[in-house]
Structure formats: structure tokens, C-alpha cells
Amino acid sequence: MPITYDVIRQAACDLYGWSLKKVPDDTLDALAAARLTETNPTSQRTLDFMQAAARAAESEDRHACSDAGFPTYFVKIGTKLTLDGDIRRAFVDGFAELVDTIQPPILKFITHPLTMERSYKGKDMPIVSFDVIDGADYMEITCSPKALGSGRWADLKIFSYPKIAEIEAYFMECVLAAGSQHCPPVIIGMGIGGSFDHAAKMAKQATLRKIGSKHADPMIAEMEERLLVAVNKTGFGPMGTGGDTTALAVHVDYAHGHGFVPVAVCFNCWINRRTAVRIDNDGKVTRLE
């Protein structure tokens, strides 16, 4: 039995809705851990407020943030599954269904990049990227709505034969440029290498990794660890009003390329919106988070 348009449309709708009203469990754990080590009294209070607000969003079925952003979906398709129907269309229609049905309503955030006109629809919206899982008979869909507050501080630079020190200095430059602006404590993603577009995709996907997970390559895992310490020494703190907790995690990924080295850095705000499902070939949907 194939995975149908209807199943994917419903999943696209549900994922976006869930992500607006639930802060991921790993993020709540990280906020609680940060509260234990935070020394700034104002920041302690802010972290308490954030955790209580996240709990209220879930238990009272309310939006965590007024900015619903726009949905981005990462889809991994098993090579042994079968599909039936317009799959790209299913995401467009699922997003439209969410807009029509969610209560309370979301605001108009889909913005034409040149005219700044706002609506609920738009070219290439939602943004969906597809990848494959060799040998699998299921698909996984992750939804991560992107809002303005943290979205606008992402950056990318092309280096030629950089030393690691240069890459890490650039990373810190991005952290200082974002400063207090991106609703910290943030999750920071960095993609190193590949092509211009692939570096950006790696950075974004790195933010989706669970907090507490380590990169499989020890060299990258150590980089993540030392950069997290470095970011938290800047002192911007929760909501950027000072403190020890500017980032909850730094996640790095890399790809081989060709001498020129793109480096991309991006940020997820503290509510770190992220939901995922697995859809088996018989149409069974399992919520992963």
C-alpha cells in the first residue's frame, strides 16, 4: 500500500500546528539545566518564565510565540516505499489547511521579498527539501517553522583554505553580530564545506539535531563543545539582557568540497520549534516528537 497524498497533507498540517504549541522536550531539559547553572538573578527569572510559558503553551493549547513564522519541512524518503499522488502539492495543501483551521488563528507572515506584501501563501511556500534513505520503506518528515526574530541573523561566508581558527573566529563574529537579538538562549548550527547552498542546508539541519547529541566525528564534537563554552562567555544571556546562558547548544556539520570553503551559521530561538513524524508504507503515522 502506498503512502498517499492525503496522509502527507494531514501530516504537513499536523506537524506545523504541533510545532507552534509545543517546545521540544530536549529544549525544555536544556532550559532546566541552564537554570541550575545560571548566576544572573534577572536571567534566572527569565529562564523560569520561559519554562512556565512553554508548559502553558502545551497544557493550554496556546501559541508559544505570536510569530508563527513560515513552515520548512525536511523530508527523507525511503527508497523502498511507494508514493501515490502529488506529494509536493500535499505540503502546500497541508499548510493551507492548517492556516484555515488552527485556533487561535495565525497572523499573516508569508512575505513577498520585494513588495513586502503579506499573506498566507506564496511562491515556493512552504519550503520543502527532499532526501532519500537507502533501503527504508518509510519516510520521515521534520517541520521547523522559521520566524523573523532568529531567522534574520544567519550568515554565510566563503573562505579559501581557512585554518580552523579562522572558521571559529568567523563563528564568533556571527554570534557577536546577532548579540541580544535572536531570542536567546539559542541553538546554533554551523555548516562547513560543500557548496554555497549545501553549507547553508547543513547549518539549518544541524540546528534540528537533539540537544545533548554529539557529532560522530570527534574533531567536530570537540569543536561543538568548545564553541558552546565560548558563546556562553559573551554574556548576552536569556533574552539578551545579560547572563551565562546565550546558547543551549552548538551543532556543527561538514562536507567535503573543493578548496573553497563556505561556512554558514544560523540560529534557532529558545522555543526551538521542531516536530517530526515517521510514515510507514502502510500509511501508519508515528509522531517522533
CB of 132 to another protein, least distance (A): 31
We find the least distance from the C-beta atom of residue 265 to another protein, in angstroms, to be: 15
Residue 165 CA from chain centroid, whole number: 26
Sheet containing 127-133, strands listed edge to edge, beginning at the edge strand earlier in sequence: 127-133, 72-78, 138-143, 275-280, 285-287
Nearer to another protein, 10 or 268 (CB): 268
- Could you tell me which residues come within 8 angstroms of residue 7 by beta carbon, excluding any fewer than 6 positions away? 279, 283, 285
Least distance from another protein to the Cβ atom of residue 129, Å:
25
Task: Name the packing angle between helices 164-178 and 218-232 (round to 10°).
Answer: 40
Q: Return the amino acid letter for 261.
A: V
Q: Which is nearer to another protein, 162 or 283 (CB)?
A: 162
- Whole-number Cα distances in Å, 192 to 22, 152, 182, 259: 30, 20, 22, 12
In the complex, the smallest distance separating the C-beta of residue 170 from another protein, rounded to whole angstroms, is 11
Nearer to another protein by Cβ, of 7 and 186: the residue is 186
Considering beta carbons, is residue 7 or 54 the nearer one to another protein? 54
Q: How far is the CB of 42 from another protein (least distance, A)?
A: 6
Which is nearer to another protein, 62 or 80 (by Cβ)? 62
> Phi and psi dihedrals of 85, rounded to 5?
110, 180
Q: Interface with another protein by CB under 8 A: which residues?
A: 41-42, 44-46, 48-50, 52-54, 56-57, 60, 62-67, 104-108, 116, 118, 148-149, 152, 163-165, 168-169, 172, 176, 179-183, 218-219, 222-223, 226-227, 229-230, 233-237, 239-242, 269-271
Task: Report the distance separating Cα 26 and Cα 37, nearest Å.
Answer: 17
